[in-house]
Structure 1
Amino acid sequence: MTTTARVATAAALVLALAACTTPPAEEKATRTFTGTRLTAVLSSPVDITLRWTGEERGAVGRVVEFATEAKGPYTVLQYVPPGQRTYHHPDLMPGTTFHYRLRPYCGPASQPAEVALPPGGLSERDQRNDHEWAPPRTTGGRVVRTHPVREAASAPTGLKATVKHANGIHFTWTDHAADEEAQLLEIRPAGSPAFRPAAVLGPGVDSFGLITLPDEKKASYRIRAIAYGEQSNAVRLKTGVRPTSSATPR
């Protein structure tokens, strides 16, 4: 499973809409949305390319979402960094109308935790393990949800990473955000310039196990409490007929 697929699968559980009215800890205390303008074009009969302009000051990223009905439900395609201005949605169903929108998100992140996994893959014993430590949980012992996301004090603290096997890490932390709509587990693999979302978790969760990808043997992780901002305009585009191969059979 790719990082994008892993995040999109988890994000399907977190689809709330609400105002993100404040910046993350590293931003100034005041911010305003200047708005995002989204457009869509067919880059082939069954490929759609999204482009957008505008800025949401204080946002730490955007969520790209799509639906096949105007009223939804919308599905997360990807969490993208604030500097990204395009998204390519390939190999779509022919003759189908697709609807798209963007939502910014903001919120403060924890201090990172460094993890180095053992070499190799899962042993036979690991493969038989039911990974009972992995599902997201709210233990109650590490939840102190007293600060709005607009405050720096809402950043998660005490992030601890425990290596469970060559491809598994169990994370625990203390959640301080009173009005978060989701939490992001973010990863920066060794050699990568920036963090990216690895999993989307619900509000109040303080325990989660990640099954890593091959390029994640050595990485930094952090938890971010987030709230979503005002969505962009919605666009729709209908795909055409799938092109046939031009090759002539012998």
Structure 2
Amino acid sequence: MRRALLTLFLAALAGCATAPPPMLSATMTSPTDITLAWKETERDLAARTVEFATEPNGAYTVLQFAPPGQTTFTHPDLMPRTPFYYRLRAIHGPASAPLEVSLPPGDFDEKSEKDGHEWAAPQTLPGGPTAPRPVRETSAAPTDVRATVMHANGIRFTWTDNAADEEGYLIEVRAAGAKEFRAAAVLDPNVNSFGLITLPEEKNASYRVRAFYYGEQSNVVHLTTGDAQH
């Protein structure tokens, strides 16, 4: 009996263990094109950042917030004879319920460009919960998400910030007919108002707001590009 209980306990521990970070690999597909590949190891994953630097200890730049099903990325048309360093970082955190938004007809024209778009700047509005929760809890998800159509291609989002220790916020979008949400904007902690200029295919789309934190980082891979192609 005790042996059976011990077996169940160890199995439960194994199921709760944190998945190891993915092993990242890089291949030169041309003298100035690099393709990254990895095998997904985590189930509870919002996205992964694909990041690069040109120095071993340099500042990394995010190339993409890759959705969970993505396992490759190509970085094309790079500077010749330049070292490139790559890594992945896991993104976790609770998201709000999806919100459907439909925009009126119209393109982002010259008149729209002249709009100052002061409403679009990230802001921290007063108010919110008196007892914010740790971002690793589902109860820390943003609530009261509202979308105000500002013009034919602009939406202002506001929400209640329920997280105490988020590393930032993501505005995520899924255009009508798309299978997955993707990151449309990355915001600093404590922001609870932001205006998004949409893409043409996002006239009808679902949006949600995610309080996020960074998880495990992958290994770093390094390649140096060759001569420019002629």
Q: Does the TM-score normalized on the shorter chain lie above 0.5?
A: yes
Deviation at 1:54, TM superposition (A): 4.6
Structure 2 gaps of 5+ residues are 1-14
**What secondary structure sits across from 1:36 in the alignment?**
coil
2:168 equivalent in structure 1 = 182
Answering whether residue 88 of structure 2 is matched by residue 102 of structure 1, we say yes
Percent identity for Structure 1 against Structure 2:
58
Are the counterparts in 2 of residues 32 and 57 from structure 1 also a CA contact under 8 Å? Answer: no
Residue by residue over 1:12-48, the C-alpha shift from the partner in whole angstroms, topping out at 9 and shown as x without a partner, is xxxxxxxxxxxxxxxxx94513221111010000000
Please give the alpha-carbon distance, in whole angstroms, between the structure 1 residues aligned to 2:149 and 2:28.
45
Write out aligned runs for 1:113-132 (5 A). 113-122=99-108, 125-132=111-118
**Structure 1 runs, 4 residues or longer, greater than 6 Å off:** none
- Kindly tell me: are residues 143 and 96 of structure 1, through their superposed partners in 2, closer, same or farther at Cα, counting changes over 3 Å? farther
Pick aligned residue for 2:60 from 74, 92, 98? 74
Residue by residue over 1:70-89, the C-alpha shift from the partner in whole angstroms, topping out at 9 and shown as x without a partner, is 11200000001122111000
RMSD of aligned Cα (Å):
1.6
Pick aligned residue for 1:32 from 2, 6, 18? 18
What is the TM-score when the length of structure 2 is the normalising length?
Answer: 0.89
Pick aligned residue for 1:45 from 31, 37, 46? 31
1:155 equivalent in structure 2 = 141
Look at both structures and tell me which one has the larger radius of gyration over its CA atoms.
2
Please give the alpha-carbon distance, in whole angstroms, between the structure 2 residues aligned to 1:118 and 1:30.
47
Once the two structures are overlaid, the 10-residue window that deviates more, 141-150 or 223-232, is 141-150
Aligned length: 216
1:209 equivalent in structure 2 = 195
1:170 equivalent in structure 2 = 156
In terms of fraction of residues, the more helix-rich structure is 2
1:242 equivalent in structure 2 = 228
Answering whether residue 126 of structure 2 is matched by residue 140 of structure 1, we say yes
The one-letter code matched in structure 1 to 2:195 is G
Please give the alpha-carbon distance, in whole angstroms, between the structure 2 residues aligned to 1:97 and 1:69.
7
Please give the alpha-carbon distance, in whole angstroms, between the structure 1 residues aligned to 2:40 and 2:178.
27
Structure 1 gaps of 5+ residues are 1-28, 245-250
Deviation at 1:60, TM superposition (A): 1.9
Pick aligned residue for 1:196 from 171, 182, 186? 182
